[in-house]
Amino acid sequence: MMQAAGSHGLVAEGISLGFGGLQVLSDVSMTLRPGVITGLIGPNGAGKTSLFNCLTGLYHGQRGISSFDGMPLNGLGPAQRAACGITRSFQNLAMCPDLSLLENVLVGLTLKRRSGWFSAFVPTPAQWMEQQEAERRAMAALNELGIASAAHETPSDLPPGTLRLAEIARAIVSEPRAILLDEPAAGLNAVETRDLMRALKRLMRSDLVLLVVEHDMDLIMELCEQIYVLNFGKMIANGTPAEIRAHPDVIRVYLGDDADD
Ligand SMILES: Nc1ncnc2c1ncn2[C@@H]1O[C@H](COP(=O)(O)OP(=O)(O)OP(=O)(O)O)[C@@H](O)[C@H]1O
């Protein structure tokens, strides 16, 4: 992985997004710095996934700009942003059921490979080497997530926690510069959630942008150094866990006494 000194990370400024008459995001800004695990929390329907989709290029806000290390991202779709090193996970597990974990992780490298379909039937020595290298990297990614022992099993034989880690292995195998995770703990039990948190902390390095979108305030408080809070499409707070915990607007939203105002 590479990172220029003085990089600005992944930045969204003044993003507004609406669908018909529904305003989903209003003038939202956030900065995801390399080396910092950033969390995005907010109640149901606050606009977290919509903002996430704006960062990955699936949605395009009517207003606002986004950039990665100073490079403008506006107008770029998901594939172009992935080519810039921005990778994402989905809320629902998206594993190919007939492939082993190792093969599922190899899918994360497919776009980077030079070989054509012909090589699948008649590989040249160079292509064989390329395949070996891809498998080595995929195994290394599974190993980094602590699930190498399940490499040859298929998804239906494995618990959700292992599959979630495999999804993250698939995301890191292409050596991205930014990883965006949408509700990675969804559907996991307490033990699996703890394993996931440990794995994400281990993954973190000074040149990596890591965003975790979650409902679960406790998980985000424990995992993240920087936290943003969305409510009804507006960014109501950002800061360290201690600052967020003490923020009056956050307390109001999470204690649910908005209606008393
Ligand atoms: N493609 C779309 N078309 C119309 N409305 C949409 C679309 N995507 C999101 N919305 C609306 O935007 C609002 C915010 O949804 P979003 O999924 O971003 O919130 P969220 O904070 O991620 O919620 P949750 O925690 O429940 O996943 C909701 O009212 C949702 O119905």
Whole-angstrom distance, CA of residue 86 vs CA of residue 210: 10
Q: Which of 16, 17, 19 to mutate to test the pocket of ligand 1 (most atoms within 8 A of CB)?
A: 19
Q: How far is the CA of 25 from the centre of ligand 1 (A)?
A: 10
Which numbered atom of ligand 1 lies nearest the CA of 20?
4
Which pLDDT value is given to residue 115?
A: 54
Mean pLDDT confidence for 27-31 = 97
pLDDT in tens, 200-227: 999 999 999 999 999 888 899 999 999 9
ipTM of the complex: 0.95
CA-wise closest residue to 231 among 244, 212, 250, 246:
250
Question: What predicted TM-score, i.e. pTM, was given to this entire model?
Answer: 0.86
Residue owning the nearest CA to atom 12 of ligand 1: 24
Residue owning the nearest CA to atom 6 of ligand 1: 19
Which pLDDT value is given to residue 260?
A: 43
Look over the chain and give the mean of its residue pLDDT values, rounded to a whole number.
Answer: 87
Which numbered atom of ligand 1 lies nearest the CA of 53?
18
- Geometric angle at alpha carbon 9, from 7 and 12, rounded to 5°: 135
Helices 160-172 & 125-144, crossing angle to 10 degrees?
A: 130
pLDDT in tens, 128-140: 777 888 889 999 9
Give the list of residues 6+ apart from residue 43 with CB closer than 8 angstroms, or none.
215, 231, 253, 254
Which pLDDT value is given to residue 107?
A: 83
Residue owning the nearest CA to atom 17 of ligand 1: 49
- State phi, psi for 75 to the nearest 5 degrees: 90, -15
pLDDT in tens, 92-139: 667 888 899 999 999 877 655 555 555 566 667 777 777 888 889 999
In the chain, which ranges are E strands? 10-19, 22-32, 37-41, 63-68, 71-72, 86-88, 178-182, 209-213, 226-231, 234-239
Give the pLDDT band of residue 4 (cuts 50, 70, 90).
Answer: very low
Give the pLDDT band of residue 258 (cuts 50, 70, 90).
Answer: low
Which pLDDT value is given to residue 16?
A: 97
Which pLDDT value is given to residue 1?
A: 37
Residue owning the nearest CA to atom 24 of ligand 1: 44
Torsion of CA 26, 254, 209, 198, to 10 degrees: -160
Whole-angstrom distance, CA of residue 192 vs CA of residue 185: 8
Which pLDDT value is given to residue 176?
A: 92
Q: Which of 24, 89, 228 to mutate to test the pocket of ligand 1 (most atoms within 8 A of CB)?
A: 24
CA 129 centroid distance within chain = 30
The answer to whether 252 and 230 are in contact (CB under 8 A) is no
What percent of the chain has pLDDT above 90? 69
Q: How far is the CA of 26 from the centre of ligand 1 (A)?
A: 13
CA 234 centroid distance within chain = 21
What is the bridge-based pairing of β-strands 63-68 and 37-41?
Answer: unpaired
| 248-256 CB contacts, 8 Å cutoff, 24+ apart | 253/42, 253/43, 253/229, 254/43, 254/217
What percent of the chain has pLDDT above 70? 87
pLDDT in tens, 151-164: 999 999 899 999 99
